[in-house]
Structures are given as structure tokens and as C-alpha cells.
């Protein structure tokens, strides 16, 4: 007679155990940065991981190992991942956490598709004041933060110091960079005359970001109000003309490469075929490896610095990566799990900065460990001087493409400065005219 009661007891115990298993908070993370499970799929020592993919993969493994009460599943999407995210949002089944370029946050926030992260920061014990000026401004909109910044990235001057020495442009072991448009032209001429190589390597074919980044940086430096509001751009200005005229002169004077796309420009710099290659923070790791290999053109001949101040203030145009939280129904446990992941990301921000991107947190930028990384002391100022486009400007990727295409045509001499800027202004404002009204602008 006791068997029915024993069976019932076992069933109850089994159901309780199952209920206990279900106590784990399940959250779903979606990211880019590549797939490298074969090499790092089981790794949990973040300090030994290398590269964007290796570090982020190991970080997620480490988080799962340290948090057995949370089931964090992750999905790697092909870069940049937004078509898949948009489809998930349309189906009302988005992930809980997503990597996003900060320039796109305004689009998703304007459509009420992502949450402000203030409550998650508070739960995680993270103060917005702990963020660097550059990283915080990149995720701020209407007085709220819409993502946890992961880093800051932007353009830098990557420099071949051996060629700079040959050109007589080294002083106290550091490259001499121009401080005015006039010096830019005179130093470039001196460099090319003494080395027989181009002073600056430009990727002006199929790389609209390069031309747009130059324009943005030096417009911001001149404090130009080129976005008088979030739905209008103004480029037919003296400030914009002097920037385009300078780079147009650089290209025309024979001190620059011509007709190169990004792979060709990288190959030129790595091969020692030019003095400066203006490209992003993400290239530091690759160039650093070249600088450590005996016999390579960059061996012990590499340095990197922010864009030099040519007008106005010392400012760099920047963007970054952030973790955003798409809107959907969640339990309190899931929300606490997201907050714990935010805390974890902050704790490992130094390791992420080893990729070459600048840290998102002031304490990391100011730490001896960060300063000890190669070349970081020279670029740490970008965490303070870096500025994104004004908050609320939507369609930043598309705008970059339109502006970059027109400005590159002027740099190459295919259009006049005035025509290129007029065409860029018209095309961007036509794009703005197609946007629906939103409450965020």
C-alpha cells in the first residue's frame, strides 16, 4: 500500500527538482565580432585571449562559468547583424542583449525598440559618471543612456617612424606632426622629396568612411554647427570648404597615394610604402604584430597618434560599440541577469581594450595597466577629446556613405569642393526628408 505514496513522493520530488532547474534566469545574447569557437569555444582565461573574437568569446564563457544561476545563450551573426536584428524585432522576438554600433542607437531609440539602461546600471552598481566623456556621449539621447558603452573607436594617424626619421620629421624619438594646414603641406612635401614615397596613404576607393571621418573630425574641431538640428545638415560653409580644399591639395600635389581601396592601403603601409595611414583604432593590433617581426618593413618603426590639430580644438570624431537591451517582456530575474552581465562587462573592460579600441570607463583609461599596453599613452586622450555626431541624428551609416562618396570625389579631383559639398548636403537632406516624425527629435 505504500508504493503509490512512494511513487507520488518521487513525482513530487522530480517536479520540485525541475522547478528548481527552471529557477535559472535565461537571457539570450546576440553579437558580431566573428566566430572562433574552434579556438576559444572552451576558453575561460580572458587574459590569454587575443583579438576581438577571441576576447568576447572567452568573456562570455567566463560569465557562464561564474554565474551558474544564469543561462546565457549567445548567437554570432554575420557583421554587422542588423538585418537579422530587424527581422527579430519585427517578429517581436528580439534578443535580450545585442552589440550595436553607437551611431545606430538613435534609429532604434527613435522607434522605441530599445530600452534606456539606467535601471540596469543602478542594479549593477555602475554610475554613468564612471564612463569616459567620449563613450557616454555616444549613447546619450534625451537625457538617458540607451546602451552600455563597450569601447570608443575612431581614426588615428598610424605612422612609419623609420621613414619619418629619413624625412627629418622625428624629434626626441617622436614623429613631428603638423599643427596647421600650411605645415601639413610643407611637411608632406619634405617627406616625399627625402624618401621618394607618399607622405600619406589614402584609401579613397570604396572607403567612404575615410573621407567622412576627416570631414567630421575637423568640422567638430572648428565647432561648426553642421547639424543645426537632428533633421538637417549644413555643409556649404567656409569650415567645410577649407577641410576639403586641404585634402584635395594633398592628393593633387603628389604626396599621397591614389586609386587605392582599403586592402591596398593596408598593404602599402605594412610594406613600408608611405609615412602615414589614417585609419581606425582596430588596426593597432595588426600593425603592432608587424612592428615586432624582424625583417618586416615596420619592424621597430611604428607609432600611432590621434589626428593632429589643424584648426580650432584638438578633437577626434569617434563612434563605438555598445550593449543595448531591445524592448520585450522580461522577468525580474532576467533583468537582474542583464544587470549582472553589465557589471561583468565593466569589470573586463581592460581586456576588451587590448583589441586596440579605447576603454569605455575612466578608471581603465587612467590605469597603469592600460598605460603599459603598447602605444596606448599616445592615444588615451581620445577618450576625452573624442566626439560623436550630435545626439538624435538618425541614419548615420547612410549619411556617412553619402558624405564620404561626395567628399572623396573632391579629394580625388573628380568634383570641385563646392560642388561636392553642395551635392552631399542635398543628398543627406533628401534622406532626412524621408524620415517619419518621431518623438525623439
C-alpha cell at 283: 588596426
How much is the pLDDT for 356?
87
Residues with Cβ within 8 Å of residue 21, at least 6 apart in sequence: none
Interval 18-29 mean pLDDT: 73
Structural contact between residues 67 and 340, judged by C-beta atoms closer than 8 angstroms: yes
Q: Report d(CA 264, CA 202) in Å as an integer.
A: 10
Dump pLDDT digits (tens) for 46-103: 999 999 999 999 999 999 999 999 999 999 999 889 999 999 999 999 999 999 999 9
- pLDDT band per the 50, 70, 90 thresholds, residue 14: very low
How much is the pLDDT for 79?
87
Q: Report d(CA 437, CA 433) in Å as an integer.
A: 10
Strand partners, 114: 326
DSSP state of 437: P
Dump pLDDT digits (tens) for 272-296: 999 999 999 989 989 999 999 999 9
Structural contact between residues 149 and 362, judged by C-beta atoms closer than 8 angstroms: no
C-alpha cell at 37: 569557437
Average pLDDT, the chain: 92
Q: What is the DSSP string of 295-308?
A: TSTTTT-EEEEEPP
pLDDT over threshold 80, residue 34: yes
How much is the pLDDT for 285?
87
Distance, C-alpha 19 to centroid of its chain: 42
Interval 112-116 mean pLDDT: 97
Dump pLDDT digits (tens) for 426-437: 999 999 999 866
Q: What distances in angstroms separate CA 342 from CA 121, 325, 335, 339, 432, one per listed residue? A: 7, 11, 11, 5, 34
- pLDDT band per the 50, 70, 90 thresholds, residue 212: very high
How much is the pLDDT for 438?
55
How much is the pLDDT for 39?
93
pLDDT over threshold 90, residue 44: yes
Structural contact between residues 226 and 236, judged by C-beta atoms closer than 8 angstroms: no
Interval 323-349 mean pLDDT: 97
pLDDT over threshold 50, residue 1: no
pLDDT over threshold 90, residue 221: yes
pLDDT over threshold 80, residue 340: yes
Amino acid at each position: 500500500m505504500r508504493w503509490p505514496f512512494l511513487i507520488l513522493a518521487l513525482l513530487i520530488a522530480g517536479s520540485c527538482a525541475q522547478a528548481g532547474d527552471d529557477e535559472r534566469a535565461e537571457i539570450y545574447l546576440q553579437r558580431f565580432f566573428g566566430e572562433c569557437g574552434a579556438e576559444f569555444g572552451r576558453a575561460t582565461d580572458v587574459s590569454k585571449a587575443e583579438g576581438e573574437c577571441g576576447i568576447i568569446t572567452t568573456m562570455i564563457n567566463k560569465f557562464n562559468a561564474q554565474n551558474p544561476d544564469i543561462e546565457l545563450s549567445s548567437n554570432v551573426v554575420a557583421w554587422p547583424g542588423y538585418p537579422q536584428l530587424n527581422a527579430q524585432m519585427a517578429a517581436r522576438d528580439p534578443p535580450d542583449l545585442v552589440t550595436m554600433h553607437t551611431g545606430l542607437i538613435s534609429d532604434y531609440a527613435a522607434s522605441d525598440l530599445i530600452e534606456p539602461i539606467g535601471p540596469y546600471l543602478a542594479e549593477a552598481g555602475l554610475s554613468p559618471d564612471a564612463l569616459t566623456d567620449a563613450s557616454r556621449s555616444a549613447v546619450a539621447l534625451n537625457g538617458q543612456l540607451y546602451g552600455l558603452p563597450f569601447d570608443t573607436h575612431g581614426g588615428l594617424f598610424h605612422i612609419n617612424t623609420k621613414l619619418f626619421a629619413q624625412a627629418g620629421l622625428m624629434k626626441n624619438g617622436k614623429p613631428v606632426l603638423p599643427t596647421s594646414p600650411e605645415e601639413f603641406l610643407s611637411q608632406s612635401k619634405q617627406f616625399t622629396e627625402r624618401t621618394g614615397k607618399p607622405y600619406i596613404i589614402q584609401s579613397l576607393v570604396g572607403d567612404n568612411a575615410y573621407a567622412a571621418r576627416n570631414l567630421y573630425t575637423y568640422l567638430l574641431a572648428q565647432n561648426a554647427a553642421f547639424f543645426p538640428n537632428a533633421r538637417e545638415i549644413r555643409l556649404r560653409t567656409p569650415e567645410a570648404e577649407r577641410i576639403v580644399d586641404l585634402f584635395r591639395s594633398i592628393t593633387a600635389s603628389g604626396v599621397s597615394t591614389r586609386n587605392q581601396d582599403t586592402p591596398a592601403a593596408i598593404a602599402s603601409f605594412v610594406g613600408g610604402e608611405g609615412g602615414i595611414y589614417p585609419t581606425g583604432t582596430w588596426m593597432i593590433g595588426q600593425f603592432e604584430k608587424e612592428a615586432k617581426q624582424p625583417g618586416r618593413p615596420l619592424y621597430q618603426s611604428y607609432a600611432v597618434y590621434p589626428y593632429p590639430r589643424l584648426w580650432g580644438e584638438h578633437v577626434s570624431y569617434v563612434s563605438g560599440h555598445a550593449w543595448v537591451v531591445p524592448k520585450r517582456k522580461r522577468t525580474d530575474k532576467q533583468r537582474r541577469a542583464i544587470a549582472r552581465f553589465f557589471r561583468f562587462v565593466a569589470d573586463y573592460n581592460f581586456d576588451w581594450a587590448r583589441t586596440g579600441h579605447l576603454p569605455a570607463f575612466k578608471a581603465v583609461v587612467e590605469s597603469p595597466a592600460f598605460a603599459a599596453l603598447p602605444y596606448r599613452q599616445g592615444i588615451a586622450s581620445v577618450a576625452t577629446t573624442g566626439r560623436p555626431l550630435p545626439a538624435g541624428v538618425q541614419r548615420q551609416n547612410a549619411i556617412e556613405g553619402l558624405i564620404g562618396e561626395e567628399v572623396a570625389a573632391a579629394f580625388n579631383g573628380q568634383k570641385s569642393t563646392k560642388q561636392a559639398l553642395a551635392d552631399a548636403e542635398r543628398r543627406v537632406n533628401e534622406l532626412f526628408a524621408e524620415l517619419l516624425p518621431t518623438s525623439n527629435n
